[in-house]
Amino acid sequence: MAVVTGHAAPGQAPAPAPAPADTQAQETIDGFHLVIEALKLNGIDTVFGLPGIPITDLTRMIQGAGMRMVAFRHEQNAGYAASIAGFLTQKPGICLTVSAPGFLNGLTALAHATTNCFPMILISGSSEREIVDLQQGDYEEMDQLAVAKPLCKAAFRVLNAEDIGVGIARAIRAAVSGRPGGVYLDFPAKLFAQSVDAVHGRSTLIKVVDPAPKQVPAPEAVKRAVELLKGAKKPLIVLGKGAAYAQCDAEIRTLIEKTGIPYLPMSMAKGLLPDTHEQSASAARSFVLPEADVVVLIGARLNWLLSHGKGKTWGGKDHKAWGGQKFVQVDISPQEADSNVRIDAPVVGDIGSCVAALNAALGGTWAKPPAEWTGAIKERKDKNVAKMAETLAKDPSPMNFHSALNVVRDIVKANPDAMLVNEGANALDFTRSIVDMYRPRKRIDVGTWGIMGVGMGYCVAAAVTTKQQVIAIEGDSAFGFSGMEVETICRYDLPVCIVVMNNNGVYKGTDVDPTGRDPAPTVFVKGARYDRIIEGFGGVGVNATTPAELKRAMEEAIRSRKPTLINAVIDETAGTESGRITNLNPTAKKK
Ligand code: ADP
Ligand code: TZD
Ligand code: MG
């Protein structure tokens, strides 16, 4: 490589340094290039971010070095993209932001990554340390390291160019080893311009060996779990997004099919086995949770999404009472067990190793669960599926969630490799229960927080990292959080088909201000035309008022792979408050 000092002007290669007398001895490398080389050395090929002081040149040079530099309109969306790229690839997703406000915009996504156990690194430029620490009022002044610390797994600052290699190596290890999560890396402006001898500089870079080491479970823990399962009359397996992340799909399938145990996929574990699998108990969820006697959790926490493993959902007498189930919990975090209820058989390790060990310990012959149990589940399932089919077959006018999602369901079935992005309340809950998934890691959604705003960032990351068609089913409120990234989708010409389920508001479009002065807080402009937004950027916009129009538009989007936004006009009375979690609403009950 040639001499690599100096900043590049827009569109130009880095300017060569003035030729010194002894070129060999003087060849130098600067902080910008050490960062890029350290990332490349570790197989990182994509950065999501937004340029500005002090990282503008870094974004140019990343692109110049042949990496994908995806520039967003708001850092939060770049951050969400990085977080889900981490989930999909097992490599830390990288988000690059400017100082204070850019950093803070990215921070929500870093916290989101940590909460969801996605590996991500937020790299942020920062202002002059001396001025920041004396609070003398620098441009975009903030002690970013201190702010980031409580919201991530680890946070590091690099002051010297020779430490860039170590900083990036530590960030990668922290992000992907053990329970994955978000890592913050602080690069003050001065770091980028520092030059060091090139040979020496490069010798400080580290190619991380085995960044996410296997963690094999203890044999006695595996034995304990298998013994517990052997005695079960009504066993159940719950697959969470940790199981999807682990990419050990064949082992998981073997466990489920060899034992014959019914299973429930959490939303982002849908498709790990096809949702049409005969052992899927999804359509009988409210029956199996209270009835099961031994539950095997694989990469799923007993948090609010599973009603904390107790209460009425699990057959408990009141909202805090234990339902009597015994739990096996397979998780990489040794601290997860007992977080909500007693875990009788924790199996700590990476899911691939744990499930392989369980499979081996099952032995040659394993008695399938009693037919009474599987038969009762099938009965519930068949009844619910038939009821749903009846609802889906209706064709009301205006279109409702069901008749629109009936179309989406068929489109996803015909395109099982397409990525499905999903956010909203009713738009989320109905999609999750109506649209079957057929392949692993195809469904990405609001995750552990039930967060709005991940939509367009997820679309960009899904398209860039998987190269597959992306279908996004978005509530109209949900879409609004990241809607401006439609420009990003058009700019990079990504195969994304966004369907805005437009019911004129948050949950419903029917609320009114009791005083008659303003619009109610949950309603939006009536009859808004979200499809026109994408037209402004050269994409395809379609207004769909019937299932037939929606079907035609989605099929055309997938055929053409053009950025498309379909405004699906949904009955504004069709939704319910907070979708399926009305009960979490302190005021809703009092109505
Ligand atoms: P869901 O929301 O789908 O129920 P959660 O996010 O609650 O899933 O749980 C994911 C769990 O998976 C976390 O407890 C995390 O520690 C665990 N996990 C993530 N990756 C791995 C892995 N490779 N091996 C084992 N456990 C993992
Ligand atoms: N802000 C953030 C960041 N996350 C949230 N979850 C919320 C606010 C609260 N919220 C929900 O939980 S769902 C939702 C909000 C604002 C939007 C629901 O409206 P929608 O979906 O149009 O997206 P439906 O189909 O109308 O229910
Ligand atoms: Mg809505």
Which atom of ligand 1 approaches the CA of 246 most closely?
Answer: 23
Residue reference for tokens 């002044």: 141
Task: Give the span between the Cα atoms of 358 and 244, in whole angstroms.
Answer: 17
Which atom of ligand 1 approaches the CA of 212 most closely?
Answer: 23
Amino acid at 148: A
Q: What is the pLDDT of residue 23?
A: 52
Reading the chain (591 residues) residue by residue, the pLDDT tens digits are 344 444 444 444 555 555 555 555 679 999 999 999 999 999 999 999 999 999 999 999 999 999 999 999 999 999 999 999 999 999 999 999 999 999 999 999 999 999 999 999 999 999 999 999 999 999 999 999 999 999 999 999 999 999 999 999 999 999 999 999 999 999 999 999 999 999 999 999 999 999 999 999 999 999 999 999 999 999 999 999 999 999 999 999 999 999 999 999 999 999 999 999 999 999 999 999 999 999 999 999 999 999 999 999 999 999 899 999 999 999 999 999 999 999 999 999 999 999 999 999 998 889 999 999 999 999 999 999 999 999 999 999 999 999 999 999 999 999 999 999 999 999 999 999 999 999 999 999 999 999 999 999 999 999 999 999 999 999 999 999 999 999 999 999 999 999 999 999 999 999 999 999 999 999 999 999 999 999 999 999 999 999 999 999 999 999 999 999 999 999 999 999 988 888 888 876 555
DSSP state of 304: G
Q: How far is the CA of 558 from the centre of ligand 3 (A)?
A: 24
The preferred substitution site among 270, 285, 331, 449 for testing ligand 1, maximizing ligand atoms within 8 Å of CB, is 331
Q: How far is the CA of 505 from the centre of ligand 1 (A)?
A: 33
- The DSSP code sequence of 183-237 is EEEEEEHHHHH-EEEHHHHHHT----SSSS---PPPHHHHHHHHHHHHT-SSEEE
Task: Give the span between the Cα atoms of 230 and 71, in whole angstroms.
Answer: 53
**C-alpha 339, offset from chain centre:** 23
At residue 412, φ and ψ (nearest 5 deg) are: -65, -40
Which atom of ligand 1 approaches the CA of 349 most closely?
Answer: 25
- Token digits of residue 460: 């960009």
* Half-sphere exposure at residue 193, Cβ-oriented, CA atoms within 13 angstroms: 9
Task: Give the span between the Cα atoms of 145 and 478, in whole angstroms.
Answer: 30
Task: Give the span between the Cα atoms of 149 and 83, in whole angstroms.
Answer: 17
Angle between helices 31-41 and 56-64 (to 10 degrees): 50
Contact 368, 260 (CB under 8 A): yes
Which atom of ligand 1 approaches the CA of 215 most closely?
Answer: 24
Q: How far is the CA of 155 from the centre of ligand 1 (A)?
A: 22
Which atom of ligand 2 approaches the CA of 479 most closely?
Answer: 23
At residue 501, φ and ψ (nearest 5 deg) are: -80, 90
- Token digits of residue 125: 């430029």
Q: How far is the CA of 240 from the centre of ligand 1 (A)?
A: 6
Task: Give the span between the Cα atoms of 385 and 379, in whole angstroms.
Answer: 10
Q: Is 300 in the pocket of ligand 1 (CB under 6 A)?
A: yes
Report residues whose beta carbon is within 6 angstroms of any ligand 2 atom.
424-427, 450-453, 475-478, 501, 503, 506-507, 575, 579
Task: Give the span between the Cα atoms of 242 and 447, in whole angstroms.
Answer: 11
Task: Give the span between the Cα atoms of 385 and 284, in whole angstroms.
Answer: 9
**C-alpha 222, offset from chain centre:** 30
* Closest ligand to residue 243's CA: 1
DSSP state of 580: G
Q: Where are the extended beta strands (E) located within 219-325?
A: 235-239, 263-265, 294-298
Contact 459, 494 (CB under 8 A): yes
Residue reference for tokens 């009955």: 571
Q: What is the pLDDT of residue 9?
A: 43
- Computed on alpha carbons and rounded to an integer, the radius of gyration of the chain in Å comes to 26
Q: What is the pLDDT of residue 222?
A: 98
| Cβ contacts of 123 within 8 Å, gap of 6 or more | 35, 94, 95, 96, 97, 185, 187
Amino acid at 164: I
Q: What is the pLDDT of residue 503?
A: 98
Q: Is 269 in the pocket of ligand 1 (CB under 6 A)?
A: yes
Amino acid at 368: K
Task: Give the span between the Cα atoms of 531 and 550, in whole angstroms.
Answer: 12
* Closest ligand to residue 585's CA: 2
> Comparing C-alpha atoms, which of 160, 68, 159, 82 is closest to residue 119?
82
Q: How far is the CA of 528 from the centre of ligand 3 (A)?
A: 11
Q: How far is the CA of 425 from the centre of ligand 2 (A)?
A: 5
- The DSSP code sequence of 445-460 is ESGGGT-SS-HHHHHH
DSSP state of 147: H
How many helices and strands (H and E) does the chain possess? 23, 19
What is the 3 state secondary structure string of 502-548?
ECCECCCCCCCCCCCCCCCCCECCCCCCCHHHHHCCCCEEEEECCHH
> Comparing C-alpha atoms, which of 424, 305, 418, 31 is closest to residue 194?
31
Q: What is the pLDDT of residue 3?
A: 42
